[in-house]
Structure 1
Amino acid sequence: MTTTDVPLYEPEWLELREGADAAARAGELLGPLREWLAGTGPRTGGLMIHDLGCGTGSMGRWLAPRLPGPQRWVLYDRDPALLGRAAARAPEAAADGAGVTVATRRGDLAGLTAVELAGASLVTASALLDVLTRDELDALVAACVGARCPALLALSVVGRVELAPADPLDVELAEAFNAHQRRGGLLGPDAVAVASEAFARRGAVVRVCDSPWRLGADESALTARWLRGWAEAACEQRPDLAARAEGYVRHRLAECAAGGLRVVVHHSDLLALPPAGGDARGGVS
């Protein structure tokens, strides 16, 4: 699973971006989540959290120390090497010092159902929604609501980037990149809006918060890697941009190396809480 905009799944990319991801995540969503979890009463064995498309496990390392009580994390990914890294670097303690344990499941998420999520306290993911189709997202929403399980879905691209200083080619590349994100029916920058509507339609309470990357001189390595991938995807979508993009990227990389480039990559985090009174209109998948 990718994140913001560059479809790179290598461990090096995921580790390079972990600090920016952690700084961007919408911590203000944790209050309503903790309140909902507390309101459901004690659970035998503590919280059961399903982390979809876990990558190297950065969501667990960020979230587990921010939630109290014993936690059992189930990590999903198609890449066994990523699963191994995530399990090896799993957090050891919750916010109150309680233990955290981890299990891994390799495979595609397409068949995830409410039955498989039975007993789950939370479903979470990072940079997942924008690489789903509408049907895949609708199935995920139905599974969460059918299992009466909250969902915290972070760092979905929303189609806006800001570069300073500005360049005339910024807008064309951004538009081409957004079109690339929607290729083959993927939701890309439309994912958060589509997910919000799908959860709300089934009676869930939805909150969305901004979670932008803010990249400056201290994040130059990440900025350079992001910039290359962003421009490459844009040119794949619009080959006519390639000649101009070559000089653009060279110039931008020089700015980055000199500490003079600032980039904001906009994302949104979404929290969906189950409907009150068991009104799971989507039913059990």
Structure 2
Amino acid sequence: MSEIIEVSSDWLALREQEDARGRSRRLARAAARMLPPGPVVIHDLGSGTGSMMRWLAPLLPGPQTWVLHDWNPDLVERASAGVMPLDRDGRATTVRTRTALLAQLDPADLEGASLVTASALLDVLTDEEVRAVVRACTTTAASAALFSLSVTGEVRLDPADPRDEAFRTAFNAHQERSVGGRRLMGPSGVALAHRLFLEAGWKVRAIDTFWRLGRHDRGLLEEWFDGWLDAALEQRADLAVDGAEYRALRSSQSRRGALSAVVVHTDLLAWP
């Protein structure tokens, strides 16, 4: 059974620059201030090809060891085979990898963590998996947890179209669908994690963060929009006719540089 929705390394590479622009540096600096002195160990959950490590490592002191957790061995192998980022003090980071399902994450797997991180993860987990992640953080790690870029379901397209809301609603329903017996949390994932950390007695700080897509990166805008609309139409086949007209309109606007989109996320920092 797959752990979460499969994503391609090409898509991860395409979105990495916008991810870097979108994540909250304010929360990253707050997490840095919470680190214990000396060498730090960061456990990155659902690490993919390592984009969170490449973004965050230069903002944190070192020496740093990153432990990359992912269910896909090809992605973590690619992450560990690349050039390692430098920490805030100009020293190279070191990397270890762990391939396993997040539903099986045990508190002992985070033993010794100075910081736990994840990016674009909570919305593609199940209720059980979110609970396993929070339980592992709050049971073992006496350190902060930083979760970035969890989707909220809010999308703003410019220019607006009367059909936007129908497709947004259909997409959000698709995000909460069942896949292989797994019921995804979708936009509710970050809210559940927020509540669970509070119930465990931890403090939580959440900030809205944004993808701002437009003519500066038309390739990402078009790839994101096609995936967003495809998911909506998979959820609501009755929207197919409107969907074809809507796709043609938005594609024409994008080619002319007349389309932009804001995709809203939440970044969350939790600490004991």
* TM-score bucket of the superposed structures, by smaller chain: over 0.9
| C-alpha distance 162-2 of structure 1, shift in aligned 2 (>3 A) | farther
Q: Residue 237 of structure 2: which of 223, 236, 239 is its match?
A: 239
* Separation in structure 2 between the aligned mates of residue 18 and residue 126 of structure 1, nearest angstrom: 11
2:256 matched to 1:262? no
Alignment of 1:1-285 (within 5 A): 9-37=7-35, 40=36, 42-43=37-38, 46-147=39-140, 148-184=142-178, 185-274=183-272
Distance in structure 2 (CA, Å) of the matches to 1:8 and 1:240: 26
Greater mean deviation of Cα atoms: 150-159 or 95-104: 95-104
Per-residue CA deviations over 1:159-200 (Å, capped at 9, x if unaligned) read 100000011111000000001111123211111211111001
Instruction: Output the aligned Cα RMSD.
Output: 1.7
What SS does structure 2 have at the residue aligned with 1:200?
helix
Asked if the contact 2:34–2:143 (Cα under 8 Å) also holds between the matched residues in 1, the reply is no
Once structures 1 and 2 are overlaid, which stretch shifts more, 167-176 or 86-95? 86-95
Residues 127/2 of structure 1: CA separation in 2 closer, same or farther (3 Å cut): farther
What is the number of equivalent residue pairs in this alignment? 266
Question: Mind listing any 5+ residue stretches in structure 1 that lack a counterpart?
Answer: 275-285
Q: Which moved more, 1:224-233 or 1:75-84?
A: 75-84
Q: 1:98 Cα shift?
A: 2.6
C-alpha separation between the residues in 2 aligned to 1:106 and 1:116?
11
TM-score w.r.t. structure 1 length? 0.89
For residues 26 and 74 of structure 2, the distance between their equivalents in structure 1, rounded to whole angstroms, comes to 32
Deviation for aligned residue 1:2:
11
Secondary structure at the residue paired with 2:55?
helix
**Greater CA deviation, 178-187 or 206-215?**
178-187
Distance 1:80 1:2, change over 3 A: closer
Displacement of 1:52: 1.1
CA deviation profile, 1:215-258 (whole Å, cap 9, x unmatched): 11011100100111111111111110111101111210111111
SS of equivalent to 2:34: helix
How many angstroms apart in 2 are the aligned matches of 1:269 and 1:230?
21
Secondary structure class of the residue paired with 1:212? strand
Q: Read off the aligned partner of 1:96 and give its amino acid letter.
A: D
Q: Secondary structure at the match of 2:147?
A: strand
Identity over aligned pairs, percent: 48
CA contact (8 A) 2:42 2:65 kept: yes
CA contact 1:61–1:90 (8 Å) conserved in 2? no
Please tell me whether the aligned partners of residues 68 and 98 of structure 1 are also in contact (alpha carbons under 8 angstroms).
no
- Please state how far the C-alpha of 1:158 moved relative to its aligned partner: 0.2
Please state how far the C-alpha of 1:80 moved relative to its aligned partner: 2.1
Distance 1:130 1:30 in 2: 20
TM-fit CA distance, 1:8:
5.9
Runs of 4+ with deviation above 3 angstroms: none
